[in-house]
Amino acid sequence: MLKEERHKIIIKEINLHNKVLSADLSEHLQVSEDTIRRDLNELAEQGLILKVHGGAMSKTFHYPFNGQNTVYALEAKQVIADKVISLFKKGMMILMEGGTTIMEIAKNIPADLQATFLTVSPQVALELAEHENIEVITVGGRLAKNANIHTGASVINELGSLKPDLCIIGTNGISINDGLTDSDWEVVQVIKAMMRAAANVAVVTIAEKFNSVQKIKIADIKEVDYLVTELPPDSPVFAAYRDAEKPVLL
Amino acid sequence: MLKEERHKIIIKEINLHNKVLSADLSEHLQVSEDTIRRDLNELAEQGLILKVHGGAMSKTFHYPFNGQNTVYALEAKQVIADKVISLFKKGMMILMEGGTTIMEIAKNIPADLQATFLTVSPQVALELAEHENIEVITVGGRLAKNANIHTGASVINELGSLKPDLCIIGTNGISINDGLTDSDWEVVQVIKAMMRAAANVAVVTIAEKFNSVQKIKIADIKEVDYLVTELPPDSPVFAAYRDAEKPVLL
DNA sequence: TAAAAGTATGCAAATACATGCAAAAGTTAC
DNA sequence: GTAACTTTTGCATGTATTTGCATACTTTTA
């Protein structure tokens, strides 16, 4: 049996079943597991498969969202992500909303962080699933199409029985006087429930959104524990926030 | 024996068996292996064959695997999608599993169908969300990273309180004797719960998976209401299935 | 946290390869 | 026909690849 022949069979097997076990292949192809492992290494180097402990899996199945859609204010969001991640500690249970900033955070979580992440966003869930050491739990429910997060009574219900250490939310509007605001009633209900559930609340937002107000109120500024933007905490933009006890500026 | 004569025979042999071994050719053509190697080198230089260690292989046989982003057996899956969609009626509540075939179905749902879709897969949920007229509900839970579907007790629980009209599942193994099989225990539990919940069960699979068996049993064939493949129902592949009352072949 | 399963590494045997060379076979020119 | 030439072939040599095993190490699981 030629090596390339084995490779072909392995690829086919992975395409059929999305994954293969080294032990199964070894028996099926009548070669030692060492040889199979070498085969899998080669195929992985060629980028054809994704090698995992015990075998290999389909790459397409695992990395569905390679589509590079440019994110607005990406650099700012990466700065924000770095700051937020400094709040993450081992063993924490962290609840995340959706949105591009939160996605950026999810992408940049350190590989060695051990924590449990809850989210109401399928996109965030899939991004989080890329990290080996974290457990991902989706709070399911009716999927609101404009925001791509789960909403509805079942979500509120479910959130009521969770006690995360930290809750990360994006926001559409934020201002001293009107607090956090948004324009989607269903989304607002979910965010309220998330804030109620969590021990600490971090709001992430690009500075551009400061002092903008939307139609529906979510909460007062003083209910936010951490406020994270791309600007340094001593930026003049935050002059009005500095006297308040909360939120802590990052 | 002329060189060109050998070349023709080698090409013929490769077309017939997709591969040749230098040792076999040497014996068959009564020349030294060195000569065979030189032959193979020449044919490879002309781009007619793919030379590999130990012999040569058909080029067409090897090439299809450079596009790693193309879903395996995409055409077949689109045919399957069309057939399954014929089962969808207005107002139905339809429960979907995950996997590439199911994704293909989700993509091809007619724009005007009004229905409610439940799914345990974040990917499928996001795909379904692209459709205006359907309601999407995610059954949330712990996200199993290898399969990218929600698993665990909460999912089983939630499924227990749902009564979908139709349930669409992919499968890794399917055979007359061993029924539906898979290799992931958590996934199997979820699929079992899905089948229990639904009034009707449709299994979608490319014909290639027929008569393959995985380690863990999900259900007997007779528990499946519709069996959907890319082949016509009267294909000889289904000879053994034809006498059974269920499943209905599509 | 200990056992089990899976992995990486070095090594040796077997096999396959490229290369140079000379003999054999085929070709051309006279 | 045969000398001069080119091409092809087999062999010897040294090199490279492949493979299974032994070993030590890491990850996973219970």
Q: Which residues of chain B have pLDDT under 50?
A: 63-68
Chain segment A71-117, per-residue pLDDT in tens = 777 788 989 999 999 999 988 999 999 999 999 999 998 877 888 99
So what's the pLDDT on residue A62?
A: 54
What number is the average pLDDT over the span A130-138? 86
Q: Which of B52, B125, B208 sits opposite A4 (nearest CB)?
A: B52
Distance CA A51, CA A40 (A): 7
Mutate one of B21, B57, B72 to test the A interface: name it (highest A CB count within 10 A): B72
Given 3-state DSSP classes, what are the helix, strand and coil percentages for chain A, each rounded to the nearest 5?
Answer: 40, 25, 35
So what's the pLDDT on residue A65?
A: 43
Report residue A63's pLDDT band, with 50, 70 and 90 as the boundaries.
very low
Q: Is the CB of A21 under 7 A from strand D?
A: no
Question: If we measure between CA atoms, which residue out of B9, B107, B123, B90 comes closest to residue B56?
Answer: B9
Q: Is the CB of A133 under 7 A from strand D?
A: no
So what's the pLDDT on residue B34?
A: 95
Q: The whole model's pTM is what?
A: 0.84
Query: If you measure CA to CA, which chain B residue comes closest to A59?
Result: B68
Round and report the angstrom distance from CA (B122) to C1' (D21). Answer: 45
Q: Which of A47, A57, A138 sits opposite B138 (nearest CB)?
A: A138
Q: Closest Cα of chain B to A188: distance in Å?
A: 18
Contact map slice: A 67-126 vs B, CB within 8 A: 122-123, 125-126
Report residue A69's pLDDT band, with 50, 70 and 90 as the boundaries.
low
Strands A226-228, A248-249: pairing is parallel
Q: Which of B55, B68, B99 sits opposite A2 (nearest CB)?
A: B55
- For chain B, say whether A148 makes contact (Cβ under 8 Å): yes
The secondary structure of A172-238 as a DSSP string is SEEETTTEEEES-HHHHHHHHHHHHH-SEEEEE--GGGBTB--SEEEE-GGG-SEEE-SS-TT-GGG
Q: Is the CB of B5 under 7 A from strand C?
A: no
**Residues 145-174 (A) near nucleic chain C, CB < 7 A:** none
